[in-house]
A = this chain, B = another copy of it.
Amino acid sequence: MNGQPLPRVIIVGGGFAGLAAAKALEGAPVAVTLLDRRNHHVFQPLLYQVATASLSPADICAPIRTILRKQRNCEVVLAEVVGVDVAEKKLTLDGRYVRYDWLVLAAGATHAYFGHDEWAAVAPGLKSIEDATELRRRILLAFETAEYEGSPEARRAALTFGIVGAGPTGVELAGAIKEIAGETIPEDYRHIDTRTTRVILFEAGARILAAYPPELSARAQRDLERMGVEVRLGSTVTNVTRQGIHIGEEFISVRNVFWAAGVEASPLGKSLGVPLDRSGRVVVAPDLTIPGHPEVFVTGDLAAATSSDTGLPVPGVAQGGIQMGRYAGRAIAGAVTGRSENRKPFVYRDKGSMAIIGKAKAVAVIGRFKTAGFLAWLIWGGIHIAFLIGFRNRLQVLLSWFWSWLLNARDARLITGEAGLEIQVPRSDDFTPQ
């Protein structure tokens, strides 16, 4: 080249949005650096299957480095970004800093407790691989605890699961826990009938899967109820303790609570000094940049974006992140090559949405086409396999699914972690097995 250093593009986050931005910059005359505090990309739509012991963590993850290894203008750095200085065009990383010419922020979101952070220890959420293995540990330990509880009340409490929030994650968790208890493990225990496990799905709104058409919400609820899941609508959780869940005056004894209710954007948004929405997301312009900084793009779950054709908010799903990230990457590539001075505003193309309820049960909306049941389940499986990164991951996941479907087996039933054995079994002083 002419000795001029290439414009430096920094991408923060290796989720769907960050990866799409990096790939859209392939071949562009820029030096791309993708920063992430994890070495791996997580395929979040299948995270609940790790939490429910169907898949292993590595099945739905891929090292970010390896995904981008062929892209010679891109490097990957394992580092946590703690602040952005948009005036100086630099990022702070643990005392050090990195300068940029173009920035794509795609740092994502985590679960939020509406100001009740003390609920986090009692009611873990599901956003990372570590969250998933923690949920798996708690689900599996619940049955171990129940097996050796002395009193019927304690046994009943141990076998009761509460899930807060009936979006796709809550619905998927509820269905999967009921399937484990009802089909996978009953024969493994001698003192309890795991088929009596109660799974209660709490939803503050008037219906489950609120982002879906009402008839699919109704269908999904009917399917869940047929599987034995108790669906409680209009139930705003007012407190969560180790004993159970409070819904206003009412108290429900639940030993295992999982949180699938609120999300909160990465705190990185705050350091931009621009308006945020209620969930901490950055309110972006139609070209996904922030006011006064056409070189700073915010994408994915960190952005409160609207689609400029419909004026509707872009949903917090994989496709939203992918399309925003790709848009940002292309806008930068266009700008550095002088191809497009006037950017077209961002338009979100809804490619459909789907949620799984259980074996051969799902709901799907693709444009005007709505379906539920077996067909939706097949579509769901096909699309998720197709979008998984890594050919080997696809094969492994297909094999795991085939196995689960054939034998009701869930073979990733590992309780791991040094604090693995917190339960107190057996309870009686002189324990008499059998």
Give the distance in Å from the alpha carbon of A416 to the alpha carbon of B136 in the complex. Answer: 15
Residues of B within 8 A of A65 (CB): 185, 188-189
Query: A229-237, A351-359, A406-414: which lies at the B interface?
Result: A406-414
- Decide: B392 and A433 in contact? CB cutoff 8 A: no
- Decide: B415 and A390 in contact? CB cutoff 8 A: no
Residues of B within 8 A of A147 (CB): 77
Query: A279-287, A292-300, A423-431: which lies at the B interface?
Result: A423-431
Min Cβ gap A174→B in Å is: 23
- Decide: B415 and A38 in contact? CB cutoff 8 A: yes
- Decide: B395 and A399 in contact? CB cutoff 8 A: yes
- Decide: A93 and B56 in contact? CB cutoff 8 A: no
Q: A429 — nearest CB in chain B belongs to which residue?
A: B96
Known contacts A40-B415, A189-B65, A415-B38, A75 near B433 by CB under 8 Å: yes
Residues 67-97 (chain A) with a chain B CB within 8 angstroms: 69-70, 75-80, 93-94, 96-97
Residues 173-192 (chain A) with a chain B CB within 8 angstroms: 185, 187-191
Give the distance in Å from the alpha carbon of A414 to the alpha carbon of B39 in the complex. Answer: 7
Min Cβ gap A136→B in Å is: 10
Give the distance in Å from the alpha carbon of A411 to the alpha carbon of B390 in the complex. Answer: 9
What's the interface size class on A, roughly? 35 or more
Residues of B within 8 A of A392 (CB): 399-400, 403, 409, 411
Q: When the two chains form the complex, which single residue of B40, B75, B98, B413 contacts A63, counting CB atoms closer than 8 Å?
A: B413
- Decide: B93 and A431 in contact? CB cutoff 8 A: yes
Known contacts A39-B415, A40-B415, A98 near B424 by CB under 8 Å: no
Give the distance in Å from the alpha carbon of A417 to the alpha carbon of B416 in the complex. Answer: 12
Min Cβ gap A53→B in Å is: 8
Q: A421 — nearest CB in chain B belongs to which residue?
A: B37
- Decide: B61 and A414 in contact? CB cutoff 8 A: yes
Residues of B within 8 A of A390 (CB): 411
Residues of B within 8 A of A98 (CB): 426, 430-431, 433
Q: When the two chains form the complex, which single residue of B93, B399, B421 contacts A80, counting CB atoms closer than 8 Å?
A: B421
- The answer to whether the Cβ of A99 comes within 8 Å of any Cβ in the partner chain is yes
Residues of B within 8 A of A40 (CB): 413-415
Q: When the two chains form the complex, which single residue of B97, B190, B396 contacts A396, counting CB atoms closer than 8 Å?
A: B396
Give the distance in Å from the alpha carbon of A61 to the alpha carbon of B432 in the complex. Answer: 28
Given contact pairs A80-B421, A96-B430, a sample of 7 additional A-B residue pairs in the complex whose CB atoms are under 8 Å apart: A56-B58, A58-B412, A65-B189, A98-B433, A99-B432, A392-B411, A396-B396
* Subset of 30 A-B contacts with CB under 8 Å: A31-B434, A33-B433, A37-B421, A38-B415, A39-B144, A56-B412, A57-B416, A58-B413, A63-B413, A70-B187, A77-B147, A77-B425, A78-B144, A93-B431, A94-B424, A96-B426, A96-B429, A96-B430, A97-B429, A98-B433, A99-B430, A129-B414, A130-B416, A130-B417, A130-B418, A390-B411, A392-B399, A392-B403, A393-B411, A399-B399
